[in-house]
Amino acid sequence: MYKPFFPKYYRAITILPVYFSLVLSHAFAQIHPVAKESGVSFTIHNFGFKTGGTLGAPEGDLVFNPDDLAKSSFSVTIKSGSINTDNDLRDEHLRETDYFDVKNHPLIRFVSSAIRATSKKGDYEATGVLTIKNTSREIRLPFRAEKSGDGYLFTGSFKMNRRDYDIGGSSTISNELTVDIKVLAR
């Protein structure tokens, strides 16, 4: 009859650290935006009319655990040249120096410094730095997180002033715009 070299309790002791490291690494695993199911849109007033467009899907790393928000973080970029308003001439103009200056500033970046729960279950707020055209400002991004398979669906909206980032100069468009975010991350 075969007798293992280590008694059963020794095997359990050696397996426990492996088990906990796998569980913890999964609980704080990085997830990434799924491009086809993620996007950023914006609305702004121009001559009193509501208009808007989209930017490409964010890319980057998200670490999210609603049970330990102190260890959660977002670090994402969006290609500024991906702007799309369904008007090719306007899109080319928005890529120029007065607006997004995509040649010199190809990425828009958001890096969180804190994520906290709000009073409503499933609602959170990320505080972090938004960088557009080499101008960085702290923003607060309210968002909702819903478990979706092996990842999360994040949706949120915030208002910003385009002039804070030197976008559009003295253009006739409104200074304030609304940015809506939908990110499915796995």
Q: Using one digit for the tens of pLDDT, what is the confidence trace for 26-72?
A: 445 799 999 999 999 999 998 889 999 999 999 999 999 999 999 99
Asked if the structure places residue 104 within a domain, the reply is yes
Residue 24 scores a pLDDT above 90: no
Asked if the structure places residue 12 within a domain, the reply is no
Q: How does strand 135-148 pair with strand 151-161? A: antiparallel
* Number of domains making up the chain: 1
For 134, the domain range is 29-185
Contact present, 108 and 94 (Cβ < 8 Å): no
pLDDT at 75: 98
Residue 128 scores a pLDDT above 50: yes
Asked if the structure places residue 15 within a domain, the reply is no
What radius of gyration do the chain's Cα atoms show? 22
pTM here? 0.83
Asked if the structure places residue 14 within a domain, the reply is no
At 114, which CATH number?
2.40.128.110
Please give the backbone phi and psi of residue 150, each rounded to the nearest 5 degrees, phi first: -95, 20
**For a pLDDT cut of 90, what percent of the chain falls above it?**
79
